[in-house]
Structure 1
Amino acid sequence: MSTSLPGLAARLAGRPGAVALVESRKGLSRATRRGELVGHCHHIARALHDAGVRPGHRAVVMTRDAHDLTAVCYALGLLGAVPVLIEPRAEVGRCLQDVAPDVFIGEPAAQWGRRALGWGRPHVRISLVTGDSPLPAGRRLTTRTPADGIPLPRAGGPAGDGPALIAFTSGSTGRPKGAEYRHSTLAGQLDALTTLMDPRPDDVLLAGFLPVALLGPLLGLTTLAPAVNHLAPARTPPEELVGPLLEHRASIVLASPAVLTLIARHCARHGITLPSVRQILSFGAPLRTALAAALRGAVPQDAELLSVYGATECLPVSAIGDHELRASRAAPPAGHAGTCLGRPLPGVRARVLDADATGLGEIAVSGATVSPAYHARPDADAVTKSDTDDGVLHRTGDLGRLDDEGRLWFLGRRAHLVTGTGFGLATEDIEATADTARGVRRTALVGVGPALCQLPVLCVEPLPGTSRAAVLAAVRAVLKDHPEGHRVGALLIRRGFPTDPRHNSKIDRLRLAGWAAGRLRGRGR
């Protein structure tokens, strides 16, 4: 039988009495043991087969329930079908046009949306509803019934390193694209995460991002899925994060800076410490030293804080601890402004392509963790993928450098480069300096006007309770010490930046630039 998720049966077969997944919401927890999860997967796989799901079918799975997402994706893997994950707030209709799914499995809200907006027409032939809410028209898929002992039909799909999963990008920097993962891609990601986490039998992983619930049990970890607001993570009530973390003694926390900020602030506000935490992995956007310092106030002294770099197409790529991050910020090597991303992980090779005289170019990655292609997007493959002796090389769209120690430095997205008359400003170059100013929560550099003659505008989000004038003065002071700081043509205060829907950490610069242009026009009247 095919197991599209690598080594699924073997990875889940051991320790059947150990807890695989804990769902927590409003103070109530629901645990699923590894043996129970295997039983649920086999029951779901039987139901999927009876509904007509076959090897090679592409099946969109859209639910915010951690158990249902995990069990359904595993069951699809058992059948040799290909789970498809799409960001609920992405351009779902266009994503479904790209992937042409045979199957749509979703909670009632997703099914209502599919019917009302015509998602997946005319491709979807099998529609199944998960969850306990009132149903739209469709067949219910029961997800928590143990297997009845009836053997599954043998999957007749192609052997070898075939498609295992399609994960769509968030679309925060352009149209969402479906990154194809093969069996070897997922296996490479699990190996890389194992290297990063060094999991122990008694570890509990708090998943601050829903798809992490898919990987946690395969890593052998008890995975805690708190009630994160997956449509707006930064609006999650912090007690829904910290309460379960304390109750279940989470030892590893994997979350975006927006979610980690909620945890850090809640702990500081209420004098809470997190004695069980031995490791925090921040992903989705660079970890700022101020947030790292706030987290340090809540965790044991010997806890490890890692800023992890990667993307949907290549995750993870590199990591850096907060102590090295702080040291790199205080004394960067000559010509290496921006944010240090650390060294590539074992098995991952990073290069900088099309570098200028300073070594600044586009970061490209090859290795076992790299998605080999986008689904049905040969245009995107032509721009970002190339074959090398190290396998597929993926252009990330990120600007960066490599220093003499083999560490990557991040300077921002290539698409976000602010180009004025005779100069170009990389966003992370300016922001990494401006964010150190007293009273600043974060900053964002955007360009106003047409390319090659843009006005660089720095938007500043102050900390609550700070003086507007004092914050602007502090930013101007730190920019004076930056060699390109004099090129910033305007400073604008804005309380709250538009961000990506997935992590609430990446700034939506297109919207912010439009707002800045409007403010500057208003000033001129």
Structure 2
Amino acid sequence: MLLTSLASDDSNAADIADAVRIDNTVLSRSQLSGASAGVLEDLGGATRVAVLATPTAQTVLAVTGCLLAGVPVVPVPADVGVAERQHMLRDSGAQAWLGERPDDPAGLPHFSARSGSQQPHAVASCDDEDTALIIYTSGTTGPPKGVQLSRRALAADLDALAQAWQWSPDDVLVHGLPMYHVHGLVLGLVGSLRQGNRFVHTGKPTPEAYAAARGTLYFGVPTVWSRVVADPGAAAALRSARMLVSGSAALPVPVFDALVERTGHAPIERYGSTESLITLSTRVDGERRPGWVGVPLQGVQTKLVADDGSPVPHDGESIGRLAVRGPTLFNGYLNRPDATADAFDGDGWYRTGDVAVIDAQGMHRIVGRESVDLIKTGGFRVGAGEIETALLGHPAVAEVAVVGLPDDDLGQRIVAFVVASPAEPAQPGELIDYVAQQLSIHKRPREVRIVDALPRNAMGKVLKKALLT
């Protein structure tokens, strides 16, 4: 059973009165388990159900009830545009809204998420390969694609993370992230329901809310941790935690170092995608190296390949295209056999679209997306992330994004978009020289542009494609 902590035949499991705290609401394990009955009564036989994935008790009950009842869930972001939402509903074939609904429900019937009148054990039998979630990826070259995640993949990934992080029912997991992505929904909510730990959603991931939650295990994206280290009181409050986890974007090395200094914790960094779930992580009992995302989780294999398909050496320097294989992979894109075929090679390796380096100990460093972070300049292959890390070491740089722009001579020229630190003015020429001193000369930016802010999505990832125009 995917949600093992809610298994109705576990007579020895004591009910947890505050299994989930969200949106000023407390839900017990009995209430969560009983949500399956409401789904079976209202939506029994449904093939797919849309959930407006707001951080509310309705979302928690809807997702939990559907997973227990064997009804696939389509999480829909609350802030998505009308056209994109209609695409998700049409493409997924969702038959109803469960929980909250948008102002424009697109003609679908709506049901509130609730505990039904049947006993909680009245749940549907499910096969491990059945689809549990259909999560839509942001469409960079077309409409969003529906990623089909099986119950088997979710269970395998969450169990592998539990092993790497020593995640247990004694933990109190805290985050304030969106509930429609893998980070907030799968790891945060579903992971807690599988492990049996208490889960606290703070609404917004503010330093004050994190400090007040008094958790043992915290999830955050880099912007969250940047704000935490800027708040001495909040950072000190997290010293009592067991572990801090950063993901969804690269954690700047200065933020890593500041977390160590101000919270006493070297953060866990991990890597994954909607299609693969989490595949790499540093371990609670292993090395936590700034800028590196760890080793493959249990059951996961990785490899680096060159442009011609040949293997790339694991020397900690050579850049290659990252491919992964293992039990956490998705079951293809819904209604897109062409895109699914393109995502895998003939041996079942998933092409992540990311470029990385691996050292002799198996530690991975993600350079970035092949499309925007691998810069081919003057005959050299340069990773944008390495330059960004170097620039963040300069006191005048608060944020930075490095891209390759077309250049008639070099092929691509390295351009850095810099948000200056308020404490010190940033001088483009000085920053270019600084990188040339820190790294090989060919890795220096040819141009530095000072900007007020970098374009980011809801998870804090920089939208580099917006910088290429």
Relative to the length of structure 2, the TM-score reads 0.85
Moved more, 350-359 or 370-379: 350-359
TM-aligned CA distance change 1:297 to 1:402, over 3 Å: closer
Q: Which residue, out of 91, 94, 112, partners 1:141?
A: 112
TM-aligned CA distance change 1:306 to 1:475, over 3 Å: farther
1:507 alignment partner in structure 2: 462
TM-aligned CA distance change 1:410 to 1:17, over 3 Å: closer
Within 2, Cα distance between the matches of 1:255 and 1:169? Answer: 20
SS at match of 2:268: strand
Question: Is the 1:304–1:321 Cα contact (8 Å) retained in structure 2?
Answer: no
SS at match of 1:285: coil
Is 2:308 aligned against 1:311? Answer: no
Q: Which residue, out of 170, 175, 185, partners 2:153?
A: 185
1:96 alignment partner in structure 2: 89
SS at match of 1:215: helix
Q: Which residue, out of 178, 195, 203, partners 1:219?
A: 195
Q: Which residue, out of 57, 62, 66, partners 1:67?
A: 57
SS at match of 2:455: coil
CA deviations on 1:367-420 (whole Å, 9 max, x unpaired) are 1111131111212212112453xxx42111001122222222221110113344
CA deviations on 1:406-442 (whole Å, 9 max, x unpaired) are 2222211101133445444322132222222223223
Query: How far apart are 1:259 and its partner, in Å?
Result: 1.8
Letter in 1 for 2:87: R
SS at match of 1:19: coil
Identical pairs, percent: 24
CA deviations on 1:258-307 (whole Å, 9 max, x unpaired) are 222222222x26774324211011010122221122222442x4x45201
2:228 alignment partner in structure 1: 263
Letter in 1 for 2:92: V
Query: How far apart are 1:97 and its partner, in Å?
Result: 3.6
Is 2:3 aligned against 1:10? Answer: no
CA deviations on 1:213-264 (whole Å, 9 max, x unpaired) are 2321221110001112xxxxxxx55433333x2xxx2010012112222222
Letter in 2 for 1:178: G
What are the ranges of 5 or more consecutive residues in structure 1 without an aligned counterpart? 116-123, 129-139, 229-235, 330-338, 515-525
CA deviations on 1:290-342 (whole Å, 9 max, x unpaired) are 1122222442x4x452011111112211123799455xx6xxxxxxxxx4322
Q: Which residue, out of 289, 297, 309, partners 2:253?
A: 289
Within 1, Cα distance between the matches of 2:243 and 2:38? Answer: 35
Question: Is the 1:257–1:287 Cα contact (8 Å) retained in structure 2?
Answer: yes
Relative to the length of structure 1, the TM-score reads 0.76
Is 2:369 aligned against 1:413? Answer: yes
Question: Is the 2:147–2:334 Cα contact (8 Å) retained in structure 1?
Answer: yes
TM-aligned CA distance change 1:61 to 1:312, over 3 Å: same
Map 1:8-47 to 2 at 5 A. 9-10=6-7, 13=10, 14-24=13-23, 29-47=24-42
Is 2:460 aligned against 1:460? Answer: no
Query: How far apart are 1:161 and its partner, in Å?
Result: 2.2
Within 2, Cα distance between the matches of 1:325 and 1:475? Answer: 30
Question: Is the 1:278–1:304 Cα contact (8 Å) retained in structure 2?
Answer: no
Moved more, 30-39 or 350-359: 350-359
1:435 alignment partner in structure 2: 392
Within 1, Cα distance between the matches of 2:304 and 2:18? Answer: 43
Within 2, Cα distance between the matches of 1:422 and 1:160? Answer: 48
1:83 alignment partner in structure 2: 73
CA deviations on 1:70-100 (whole Å, 9 max, x unpaired) are 2212222333221112344453333334322
Within 1, Cα distance between the matches of 2:159 and 2:393? Answer: 35
Letter in 1 for 2:109: S
SS at match of 1:250: coil
1:400 alignment partner in structure 2: 356
SS at match of 1:473: helix
SS at match of 1:362: strand
Within 2, Cα distance between the matches of 1:492 and 1:81? Answer: 49
Question: Is the 2:269–2:293 Cα contact (8 Å) retained in structure 1?
Answer: yes
What are the ranges of 5 or more consecutive residues in structure 2 without an aligned counterpart? 180-184
Letter in 2 for 1:481: Q
Is 2:304 aligned against 1:377? Answer: no
SS at match of 1:415: coil
Q: Which residue, out of 438, 442, 455, partners 1:481?
A: 438
Within 2, Cα distance between the matches of 1:263 and 1:60? Answer: 34
TM-aligned CA distance change 1:362 to 1:92, over 3 Å: farther
Within 2, Cα distance between the matches of 1:35 and 1:479? Answer: 60
1:233 alignment partner in structure 2: none
CA deviations on 1:126-159 (whole Å, 9 max, x unpaired) are 421xxxxxxxxxxx4153xx4434688774x874
Letter in 2 for 1:310: G
What CA RMSD, in Å, does the superposition of the two structures yield over aligned residues? 3.0
CA deviations on 1:2-25 (whole Å, 9 max, x unpaired) are x6x45474289522135310125x
Query: How far apart are 1:354 and its partner, in Å?
Result: 2.9
Question: Is the 2:173–2:198 Cα contact (8 Å) retained in structure 1?
Answer: yes
Within 1, Cα distance between the matches of 2:387 and 2:353? Answer: 18
TM-aligned CA distance change 1:6 to 1:251, over 3 Å: closer
Question: Is the 2:208–2:234 Cα contact (8 Å) retained in structure 1?
Answer: no
Within 1, Cα distance between the matches of 2:294 and 2:113? Answer: 45
SS at match of 1:216: helix
SS at match of 1:273: helix
Is 2:211 aligned against 1:242? Answer: yes
Is 2:282 aligned against 1:320? Answer: yes
SS at match of 1:341: coil
Question: Is the 1:351–1:364 Cα contact (8 Å) retained in structure 2?
Answer: yes
Map 1:117-156 to 2 at 5 A. 126-128=108-110, 140-143=111-114, 146-149=115-118, 155=124
Question: Is the 1:305–1:321 Cα contact (8 Å) retained in structure 2?
Answer: no
TM-aligned CA distance change 1:450 to 1:98, over 3 Å: farther
Question: Is the 1:47–1:141 Cα contact (8 Å) retained in structure 2?
Answer: no
Letter in 1 for 2:248: G
TM-aligned CA distance change 1:20 to 1:304, over 3 Å: farther
Within 2, Cα distance between the matches of 1:22 and 1:158? Answer: 28
Letter in 1 for 2:100: E
Is 2:174 aligned against 1:206? Answer: yes
Within 2, Cα distance between the matches of 1:166 and 1:142? Answer: 19
Query: How far apart are 1:363 and its partner, in Å?
Result: 0.6
TM-aligned CA distance change 1:432 to 1:313, over 3 Å: same
